[in-house]
């Protein structure tokens, strides 16, 4: 999950949803949707039984463990990511699915050797991680006095103090979309007022001295300065020292560089529809991760339940009217690169995309399905989600999200995302803490069951989900 979420959120929650509201009032009510969807009660029970209590119990967890324990993390451009794609291609093929790869050029940023140290008022090493796309420092590093601010607004007010300084952002965590703006744009904002580097307080509500990396973006025409994240603890420490008028000096050394774009692939597995093979229900997660931890939560889990959903349907000998397509995206963390290229390549067939789904906020205990679509489509989905009653997840929420499905949703294709009990998600996000230890097999079974039931039933209904006219 990267930071463009907050831009999506603005777009979707303002213009986009109101468009749907206006356009859907003249829709005919669908003829007995409840009865049609209700006929899937038995098949939904069979999927749930297999996933949660039957032979497939713990399978998506075991698959995720095998995958992340073998490959490790998978940052864009790395050999690990290449290995991961080969691994998943082979694994899904062996599982009997129709698998192919679609080429994508992705960014190749490497962090190199890096460190940060507070030199004054005392010596203390600072746990840090360079931010994706950051430039490096000269080999000897950047050593400068620190200016600590709590907000962009404070930086503006104190612009005259920023020249030649390392700006430390100690913004409090409110919510991810809001707070991540500091990671995304802190470097350019500080460079505009003459800073030589920035250290951003990690975007997390909870910390045991853990730095949390992520992508950042330089503004066109603004000097590119090195930028890294530091821990909540160290940001607060420097803030307190600054409040006491202590002079703080930090040395930052970063070997980061951006190499030429690398070759990569979106990994696509399918169960072809028997009646309308050209029509698609797409379910997805991203295969790339950051270069720390194991990328188990972000987003190995989302990728695995998308595969698992197809496995469950196949194991039950089911084949829907439309094609079920699991896409494991590449380059998500670098700006949704794989998702964007996929959209551009396939948008000529947009009228055949029935529903796009992405899971990228963890695979903890499922709470409901987030859905974005016309009122008429929502009526259908409200019936579909009732089929999840055996696992107690029957809530249809608003505002689907997902970096890789966003463009489809913006273009009017109904979208869905998994809402899980994600209160711990940002504790581990983009840090060394994102490991298998965060995952729970039963939770993953529940997520897989939900994902499979929703995808299968929508792909098998008589009609595609109604869109805005």
Ligand X SMILES: *[C@@H]1O[C@H](CO)[C@@H](O)[C@H](O)[C@H]1NC(C)=O
Residues engaged in binding ligand X (CB under 6 A): 57-58, 278, 345-346, 348-349, 391-392, 441
> What's the helix, strand, coil split of the chain in %, to 5?
40, 25, 35
Distance CA 430, CA 294 (A): 10
332: annotated active-site residue: yes
Q: Smallest distance from the beta carbon of 456 to ligand X, in angstroms?
A: 19
CA distances to 3, 26, 111, 177 from 8, rounded to whole Å, are 9, 27, 28, 9
Least separation in angstroms between residue 48's CB and ligand X is 8
3-class DSSP state of 245: coil
Asked if 230 contacts 431 with a C-beta cutoff of 8 angstroms, the reply is no
Helix/strand/coil (H/E/C) assignment for every residue in 124-143: EEECEEECECCCCCCCCCEE
Decide whether 178 or 278 has the Cβ nearer to ligand X: 278
The nearer residue to ligand X, 9 or 105, going by C-beta atoms, is 105
Q: Which is nearer to ligand X, 333 or 443 (CB)?
A: 443
Residue 296 beta carbon to ligand X: minimum distance, rounded to whole angstroms: 16
**Active-site residue among 308, 332, 333, 358?**
332
Is residue 436 a contact partner of residue 429, using CB atoms and an 8 Å limit?
A: no
Least Å distance, CB 352 to ligand X, is 6
Toward ligand X, which CB reaches closer, 227 or 340?
A: 340
The CA distance from 465 to 17, in Å, is 17
Distance CA 329, CA 309 (A): 16
In angstroms, rounded to a whole number, what is the distance separating the alpha carbons of residues 230 and 204?
A: 11
Contact 294, 92 (CB under 8 A): no
Shortest distance (Å) from residue 393 CB to ligand X: 9
Q: Which of residues 53 and 206 has its CB atom nearest to ligand X in the complex?
A: 53
Q: Please give the positions annotated as active site.
A: 332
């Amino acid at each position: 999950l990267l930071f463009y979420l907050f831009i999506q959120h603005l777009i979707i929650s303002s213009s986009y949803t109101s468009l749907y509201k206006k356009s859907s009032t003249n829709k005919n009510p669908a003829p007995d949707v409840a009865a049609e969807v209700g006929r899937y009660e038995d098949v939904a029970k069979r999927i749930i039984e297999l996933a949660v209590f039957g032979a497939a119990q713990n399978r998506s967890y075991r698959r995720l463990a095998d995958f992340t324990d073998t490959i490790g993390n998978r940052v864009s451009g790395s050999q690990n990511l290449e290995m991961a794609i080969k691994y998943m291609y082979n694994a899904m093929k062996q599982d009997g699915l129709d698998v192919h790869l679609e080429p994508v050029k992705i960014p190749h940023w490497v962090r190199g050797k890096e460190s940060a140290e507070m030199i004054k008022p005392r010596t203390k090493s600072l746990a840090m991680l360079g931010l994706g796309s950051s430039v490096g420092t000269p080999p000897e590093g950047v050593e400068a006095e620190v200016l600590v601010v709590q907000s962009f607004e404070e930086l503006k007010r104190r612009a005259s103090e920023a020249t030649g300084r390392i700006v430390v952002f100690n913004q409090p965590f409110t919510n991810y979309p809001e707070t991540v703006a500091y990671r995304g744009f802190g470097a350019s904002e500080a460079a505009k007022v003459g800073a030589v580097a920035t250290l951003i307080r990690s975007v997390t509500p909870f910390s045991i001295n853990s730095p949390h990396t992520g992508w950042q973006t330089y503004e066109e025409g603004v000097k590119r300065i090195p930028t890294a994240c530091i821990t909540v603890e160290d940001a607060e420490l420097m803030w307190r020292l600054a409040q006491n008028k202590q002079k703080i000096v930090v040395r930052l050394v970063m070997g980061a560089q951006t190499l030429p774009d690398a070759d990569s692939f979106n990994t696509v597995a399918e169960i072809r529809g028997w009646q309308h093979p050209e029509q698609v229900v797409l379910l997805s997660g991203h295969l790339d991760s950051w270069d720390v931890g194991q990328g188990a939560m972000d987003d190995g889990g989302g990728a695995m339940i998308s595969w698992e959903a197809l496995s469950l349907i196949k194991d039950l000998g089911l084949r829907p009217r439309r094609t079920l397509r699991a896409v494991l995206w590449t380059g998500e963390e670098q700006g949704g690169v794989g998702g964007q290229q996929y959209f551009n390549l396939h948008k000529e067939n947009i009228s055949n995309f029935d529903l796009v789904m992405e899971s990228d906020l963890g695979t903890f205990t499922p709470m409901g399905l987030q859905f974005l679509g016309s009122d008429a489509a929502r009526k259908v989905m409200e019936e579909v989600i009732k089929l999840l009653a055996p696992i107690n997840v029957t809530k249809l929420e608003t505002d689907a999200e997902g970096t890789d499905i966003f463009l489809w949703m913006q273009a009017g294709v109904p979208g869905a995302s998994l809402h899980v009990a994600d209160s711990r998600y940002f504790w581990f996000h983009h840090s060394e803490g994102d490991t298998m230890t965060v995952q729970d097999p039963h939770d993953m079974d529940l997520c897989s069951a939900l994902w499979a039931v929703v995808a299968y039933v929508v792909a098998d209904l008589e009609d595609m989900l109604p869109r805005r006219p």
